Amino acid sequence: MQYDRDHIRNFCIIAHIDHGKSTLADRMLEKTSTVAERDMEEQILDNMDIERERGITIKARAVRLDYLAKNGEHYCFNLIDTPGHVDFNYEVSRSLAACEGALLVVDASQGIEAQTLANTYLAIEHDLEVVPVINKIDLPAADPERVCHEIEDIIGIPAMDAPRISAKSGVNIEEVLERVVTDIPAPGGDDGKPLKALIFDSYYDSYKGVIVYVRVMEGVVRPGMTIRMMASGAEFTVVETGAMGATELIPMAELSSGQVGFITASIKTVQDTTVGDTVTDAENPAEEPLPGYRKVNPMVFCGIYPADGAKYPDLREALEKLQLNDAALSFEPETSVALGFGFRCGFLGLLHMEIIQERIEREFNLDIITTAPSVIYKVTLTSGETLSIDNPTNFPDPATILEAEEPMVAANILTPTAYIGNIMELCQQRRGIYKDTKYLDTDRVELHYDLPLAEIVYDFFDALKSRTKGYASFDYELKNYVSSKLVKLDILLNGEIVDALSFIVFADNAYPRARRICERLKDNIPRQLFEVPIQAAIGGKIIARETVKAMRKDVLAKCYGGDITRKKKLLEKQKEGKKRMRQLGTVEVPQEAFMAVLKLDD
Ligand SMILES: Nc1nc2c(ncn2[C@@H]2O[C@H](COP(=O)(O)OP(=O)(O)OP(=O)(O)O)[C@@H](O)[C@H]2O)c(=O)[nH]1
């Protein structure tokens, strides 16, 4: 069906995690018969397995719906799904830039939370029309009246007549669809101008190459045209253009301004189609790209090694395949004395890192060992040279360092007032610098802290949740680099440095941290045939020590009598048990030890 621009609505759904964004999207697909009910798999928009299991949306997706409104006219809805986690904030901002409006879903039992605010501010910044929707009215704890007031008081947009719905049981979904028609403006744009299309997502398809999701702002794009990516400069000939159905791509002769759709052009890698870039016509290029493009840099790094060294090529293949679809994932080969050949991998944040690790293990069936996550430190040497260090092993000798700097983030913590004390204590422990407190209403505040990224990277979010019974939410963005007293802590097992366990720590915390790590390693390393000293050292000076006592474990001891098959079985079993162990020098270390080192919070 053809729609004129007045009958197009481009919008997204924004919400705090778990407030029901994906469920509402599914209901809208159903009600507009975009997907027949029998084909309706739970949460079509979340189409990765892990997403479905974890119930979180990782990548932005878009879908086109045809809606027959009460006024008897057909409307084309382009619904753009946005990721819901702080790691993916940039992708969210690009998805918003593709829209004219946003449905703001708020859980009627929870009210406004950190991501609700963060996303709403982003939407307002992008001049979107924000339409509040109160969800989960079926819950006994639902208090839609209070939540409407909250939206008016805190965000400052009218909300008293917001649709009150239950996305789960399908109550009042029609009302939401009508609001999209009446409240969200139609897109603008001029087909006569040179092409400008915003890339807001892309993924790799083994038949068509990269499928680029775009919002056309000006001009027209059609098959046969030569297009240029304005940031990367790469040029391609368009093979196909069209719209996104819920389960398939629908080819169309062209995409004109105001429309959301896809382009294929035999593009081999998503690196050529970075989110936020502008697609233009190579023969009649736009003068300026669309605003807001940013190169996304990984913030957190860790080493990934195959548990079985022979699987190194398989690990490379897995990472290459994952990267086809994930421009934010970076990796390069590295070697560790302890772990052999592996890769240094860069991620947007911890969630992103966990997702990639999980996918390598599940989708590629590889056992891997990951080293402690690290941020990028900047070091200026006495020679004047400056270094970026993403691997603790490369941290230079303290004597050669003039200045070391670490990344700071501006953190935004939303909490009921009852937990302010607990949170301040936690932030203090993590070297946070208090900025200010903003009272949102009588029982809720927003705390602002500057925190070192290294201190929140591993378990800050969990620690925050446990100190606030899950009520606080948290959001951050990279702020700047500040000078800091940093040292490299080395761990020695049986007198040998294990490079994969080295990490960088704030100098004043080095002693307690070293002691704690030695204790943890002692708990995690099983007894061996000989006594194993565990030591922590800074630049050769030992600052903590524990010992794993020797023990001889003879698995055959129980096997008196000579049944050889039983003996074999026991030996096999012992071998199984060993698989997850790693020989580090002379000592066998289980995989868990690598992560145990990082748990700061007891
Ligand atoms: N009782 C009730 N539960 C709901 C309703 N809508 C969604 N849920 C449930 O809330 C949980 C989260 O819903 P999702 O739609 O996955 O939330 P989301 O906002 O998409 O979450 P992310 O994708 O992780 O940001 C799921 O268990 C849903 O079944 C509702 O109207 N009532």
pLDDT digits 0-9 by tens, 211-256: 999 999 999 999 999 999 999 899 999 999 999 887 788 999 999 9
Ligand 1 mean position to 375 CA, how many Å? 33
pLDDT at residue 287 greater than cutoff 70: yes
Q: pLDDT digits over 142-190, tens only?
A: 999 999 999 998 888 999 999 999 999 999 999 999 999 999 999 999 9
Mean pLDDT of 464-468: 85
pLDDT (mean) for 413-424: 91
pLDDT of residue 33: 67
The pLDDT score that the predictor gives to residue 475 is 78
Residue nearest to atom 30 of ligand 1 (CA): 136
Residue 53 in this model has a pLDDT that exceeds 60? no
What's the average model confidence in pLDDT over 282-288? 95
For the cut 60, the answer to whether the pLDDT of residue 577 exceeds it is no
Q: What are phi and psi of 58, to 5 degrees?
A: -100, -50
pLDDT at 59 over 60: no
Q: Hey, what are 272's tokens?
A: 């050529």
Task: Provide the pLDDT confidence category of residue 570 given band limits of 50, 70 and 90.
Answer: low
Predicted pLDDT at 379: 95
What atom in ligand 1 is closest to the CA of residue 115? 25
**Residues contacting residue 346 through CB under 8 Å, at least 6 positions apart:** 297, 298, 299, 300, 301, 329, 330, 331, 390
Q: How much distance in Å is there from the Cα of 145 to the middle of ligand 1?
A: 20
The rounded Å distance from CA 17 to ligand 1 centre is: 8
Helix spans in 438-525 (H): 453-456, 460-467, 510-524
Q: Given a cut of 90, is residue 574 above it in pLDDT?
A: no
Lowest mean pLDDT across 147-156, 443-452, 458-467: 458-467
Using the mean position of ligand 1's atoms as its centre, give its distance from the Cα of residue 461 in Å: 21
Coil, strand, or helix at residue 135?
strand
Q: How confident is the model at residue 60 (pLDDT cuts 50, 70, 90)?
A: very low
Closest ligand 1 atom to Cα of 135: 31
Q: What is the mean predicted confidence (pLDDT) over 473-484?
A: 87
Residue 227, number of CB atoms within 10 A of its CB: 24
Mean pLDDT score, 294-299: 79
Mean pLDDT in residue range 263-270: 90
Using alpha carbons only, give the angle 457, 595, 89 rounded to the nearest 5 degrees: 25
Transcribe 280-310 into DSSP letters.
EESSS--SSPPTT-------EEEEEEESSGG
Least confident range of 29-38, 188-197, 285-294, 555-564: 555-564
What pLDDT is stored for residue 602 in this prediction?
A: 44
% of the chain exceeding 70 in pLDDT: 86
CA of 107 to the centre of ligand 1 (A): 9
Residues near ligand 1 (Cβ within 6 A):
15, 17-23, 55-57, 84, 135-136, 138-139, 166-168
Q: Does the structure show a pLDDT above 50 at 259? A: yes
For the stretch 347-358, pLDDT in tens is 988 778 888 988
Task: Report yes or no: 28 and 64 within 8 Å, Cβ to Cβ.
Answer: no
Among 30-34, 54-58, 167-171, 271-275, where is mean pLDDT lowest?
A: 54-58
Q: Please report the pLDDT score of residue 57 as a whole number.
A: 40
Average pLDDT for the chain:
85
pLDDT at res. 158: 93
Average pLDDT over residues 393-402: 88
Q: Region 96-125: what's the mean pLDDT? A: 88
Q: Which of 62, 54, 87 is nearest to 10 (CA)?
A: 62
Known binding-site residue numbers for GTP: 18-23, 135-138
Dist. CA 28–CA 583, nearest whole Å:
54
Q: Which residues contact 467 (CB under 8 A, 6 or more apart)?
A: 419, 422, 423, 425, 426
Closest approach atom of ligand 1 to CA 105: 19
**Region 307-331: what's the mean pLDDT?**
88
pLDDT interval class at 549 (50, 70, 90): confident
Q: How confident is the model at residue 325 (pLDDT cuts 50, 70, 90)?
A: confident
Complex-level ipTM beyond the 0.85 threshold: yes
Q: Is the pLDDT of residue 425 over 80?
A: yes
Q: From ligand 1's centre to the CA of 21, what distance in Å?
A: 6
Q: Which atom of ligand 1 is nearest to the CA of 54?
A: 24
Q: How large is the average pLDDT for residues 559-584?
A: 57
Which of the four pLDDT bands, split at 50, 70 and 90, describes residue 113? confident
What confidence score (pLDDT) does residue 567 get?
A: 59
Pocket residue to mutate for ligand 1, from 18, 51, 175, most atoms within 8 A of Cβ: 18
